[in-house]
Amino acid sequence: MNIDKIKFDVLSPAKIRQISICEVVTDELYENGQPKHGGLRDPRFGVAGRRGRCTACNMTWSECSGHFGHFELPCPLYHVGWMSEVLWWLKCSCKYCGHVSDKYLGKKCQHCQKSLPHFTKKNATVIHIKDEQGVRPLHAVEAFQMLQRLEIQQVQKVRKNKNLFHPSWLVLTVLPIPPNCVRPAPTLDGDQVRGEDDITRRLLYVLRIALSAKNTTDENSVVRSHSRERLQEAIHMYIDQRKMPGNARATQKSISERLVGKEGRMRGSLMGKRCNYTARTVITGDAQLDMREVGVPRLVAETLTVIEHVNRLTYDKIKQMVNAQDKRVKYILRKDGTRLDMKTVQGQVQLQVGDAIERILQDGDPVLFNRQPSLHRMSIMCHRAKILEGKTFRLNLSCTTPYNADFVRKWTGIGVFFF
Ligand SMILES: [Zn+2]
Ligand SMILES: [Zn+2]
C-alpha cells in the first residue's frame, strides 16, 4: 500500500470506540503469569514479544503494528494539549442559545442578549470562569456540558476546514489505549518480563483512580471532586507532565516527552541520520588542492567502498586487479547476487561482464561533499576525491563561501562526506 497523504484530526469518542479492539476494565496486568483479558496487557493489543502471533490479526511481530483499545472515563476530563482550543470555543460561543461566532463574544451574546460568563486561562492546565457566582476554576465536566450544547451546523459555520468536528471532542470522555508495541515491557533475555514501560505505569495510575471513582457510591461532593481532581492530574501526567505547574522533574516520561525534541520520536528516531557510504569529520583548508578536489583522509578512503561494475571497458583492468589480489578490492558481487569476500577467494575467481567489485576509494572518484546547515543546494556539491594524510577533510579556500565554512574565526566546521 502506498501512502499519498496523512491527515491529522481530533478523534471523536465514537471513532475511538470504533478503532478500539477491546475495552480496558481492570487495573490488573497479569493473571497466573498470563496477560489478563481486559487489562493493559490484553493480548489483543498486539504481539508483546518477538515470538508468537497476534491474537487479533494472526500476524507476527514484524507484521502486526498493534491495535488500540479504549477506556471509558468516569467523567469528562481535559486534554492538556487542547486547553487553549477549549478556551477559544468557550469564548466564541453562547452557552444559552448555542450561537457560535468566529471571534470572542464578549460580555453579551448578540443573539439572545444574555450576559455571558468570562473565561480566562490561569495556567496551562486551569481555566477560570467568572459569572454571578464569582471567579472559580472551570471543571472539565462543566466545560464539556457547555461545548456539547453547540450545534454542529453552528460549529461548521466558523471553521475553514470542513471535516467533521465537534468542540466537545476536545474534552476527553474516552481514553484511547495505545498498543503493546508502543509500550513494550522491558524484558530479560527476550522472554522474562522485568517491570513495565513508563506509559503503561502512567496508564495504570489513571486506571486505579478511575476505577475506584467508578466503584465508589459515596455521594459526598467533596470526596467526588477530590477524586476527579486526582484523576485529572493523572491524565495530565500521562499526556504531558511538563505542563503541570510546579511539578518536579519526574523519572517517568509522559507521551509528549517521547515525541518532542532532539531525542524525541520525530527528530531522534524518524528523521535522517548518518547513513552508509558516508563519513564525517572536521574540515580544514588546503591551498594546494584544486577547487574541484576534496582532500579525504586515508583512514576514510580505506573504509568507504565504491562499487565498480565490470563491463567491456573495465574488464581487463578489474580482472588484473582481482587476479593480482589487489588490496584495494574488498568484495566481488556476482550477477546472481552472491557476495564474495576477497580474503577468502584469494583471487581465484572467473570474472564476467555484469559482475561488480567493491573497492576502496581512490584519487579521482566523484564524491558528494556537504556541510551543515544545508541551506541551499550549494551546501552539497560534487568533488573529486584526493587521498591525503591527516584526519580532516581538506578543501580549497575558494570553496568556503558556498558551504559557508570559514577557517578564519574557528577551524572547526564539520564536513559530512558521502558517496
Ligand atoms: Zn495484530
Ligand atoms: Zn446567546
Q: What is the CATH number of the domain that holds 371?
A: 2.40.40.20
Q: Which ligand is nearest to the CA of 42?
A: 1
Number of domains in the chain: 3
Residues 6+ apart with CB under 8 A from 92: 100, 101, 102, 103, 104, 105, 158
In a domain, 206, yes or no: yes
Q: Which ligand is nearest to the CA of 53?
A: 1
Is the domain of 186 the same as that of 322? no
Q: Is 416 helix (H, G, I), strand (E, B) or coil?
A: strand
In a domain, 289, yes or no: yes
In a domain, 181, yes or no: yes
CA distances from 346 to 119, 314, 330, 360 (A): 81, 20, 11, 17
Whose cell is 558551504? That residue is: 403
Q: Which of 181, 186, 182, 151 is CA-nearest to residue 168?
A: 151
Is the domain of 355 the same as that of 377? no
pLDDT at 238: 94
Could you report the per-residue pLDDT of 182-222, keeping only the tens digit for each?
Answer: 998 887 766 666 788 999 999 999 999 999 888 877 677 78
- Here the cell at position 241 is 507532565
Could you report the per-residue pLDDT of 111-140, keeping only the tens digit for each?
Answer: 888 899 999 999 889 999 998 889 999 999
pLDDT at 261: 83
Q: Is 345 helix (H, G, I), strand (E, B) or coil?
A: helix
Q: Which of 334, 360, 386 is the last residue of a domain?
A: 360
Task: Judge whether residue 409 has pLDDT over 90.
Answer: no
Plot region of 261 (φ>0 → left; ψ -120 to 50 → alpha; else → beta)? left
Is the domain of 89 the same as that of 125? yes
pLDDT at 375: 87
In a domain, 314, yes or no: yes
Q: Which of 192-206, 291-305, 382-396 has the lowest mean pLDDT?
A: 192-206
pLDDT at 171: 97
Q: Which ligand is nearest to the CA of 62?
A: 1
β-pair type (393-395, 278-285): parallel
pLDDT at 414: 47
Going from the Cα of 49 to the center of ligand 1, the distance in angstroms, rounded, reads: 12
Is the domain of 100 the same as that of 238? yes
Count other Cβ atoms within 10 Å, centred on residue 42: 24
Task: Judge whether residue 12 has pLDDT over 50.
Answer: yes
Average pLDDT (104-115) is: 88
Going from the Cα of 102 to the center of ligand 2, the distance in angstroms, rounded, reads: 14
Is the domain of 219 the same as that of 89? yes
Is the domain of 347 the same as that of 392? no
pLDDT at 85: 94
Q: Which ligand is nearest to the CA of 54?
A: 1
Is the domain of 337 the same as that of 382? no
In a domain, 2, yes or no: no
* Sequential DSSP letters for 165-232: --GGGGEEEEEEE--GGGSPPPEETTTEE-S--HHHHHHHHHHHHHHHHHH-----HHHHHHHHHHHH
Going from the Cα of 59 to the center of ligand 1, the distance in angstroms, rounded, reads: 6
pLDDT at 407: 66
Top-ranked range on mean pLDDT: pick from 39-48, 173-182, 189-198, 400-409: 173-182
Q: Which of 84, 21, 70 is CA-nearest to residue 206?
A: 70
The torsion angles phi and psi of 315, rounded to 5 degrees, stand at -50, -55
Torsion of CA 256, 261, 262, 267, to 10 degrees: 70
Domain that holds residue 259: 7-273
Could you give the CA distance from residue 188 to residue 202 in angstroms, rounded to a whole number?
22
The torsion angles phi and psi of 359, rounded to 5 degrees, stand at -125, 165
Is the domain of 367 the same as that of 351? no
Is the domain of 60 the same as that of 199? yes
Going from the Cα of 138 to the center of ligand 2, the distance in angstroms, rounded, reads: 20
Average pLDDT (232-256) is: 85
Q: Which of 273, 296, 324 is the last residue of a domain?
A: 273
Could you report the per-residue pLDDT of 315-332, keeping only the tens digit for each?
Answer: 999 999 998 888 899 999
Could you give the CA distance from residue 157 to residue 99 in angstroms, rounded to a whole number?
10
Going from the Cα of 205 to the center of ligand 1, the distance in angstroms, rounded, reads: 26
In a domain, 368, yes or no: yes
Going from the Cα of 96 to the center of ligand 2, the distance in angstroms, rounded, reads: 5
Going from the Cα of 191 to the center of ligand 1, the distance in angstroms, rounded, reads: 19
Could you report the per-residue pLDDT of 148-158, keeping only the tens digit for each?
Answer: 999 999 899 88
Q: Which ligand is nearest to the CA of 149?
A: 2
171/339: higher pLDDT:
171
In a domain, 1, yes or no: no
Is the domain of 154 the same as that of 212? yes
pLDDT at 192: 66
In a domain, 381, yes or no: yes
Is the domain of 220 the same as that of 328? no
What confidence category does residue 80 fall into, taking pLDDT thresholds of 50, 70 and 90? very high
Q: What is the CATH number of the domain that holds 348?
A: 3.30.1490.180
Is the domain of 256 the same as that of 244? yes
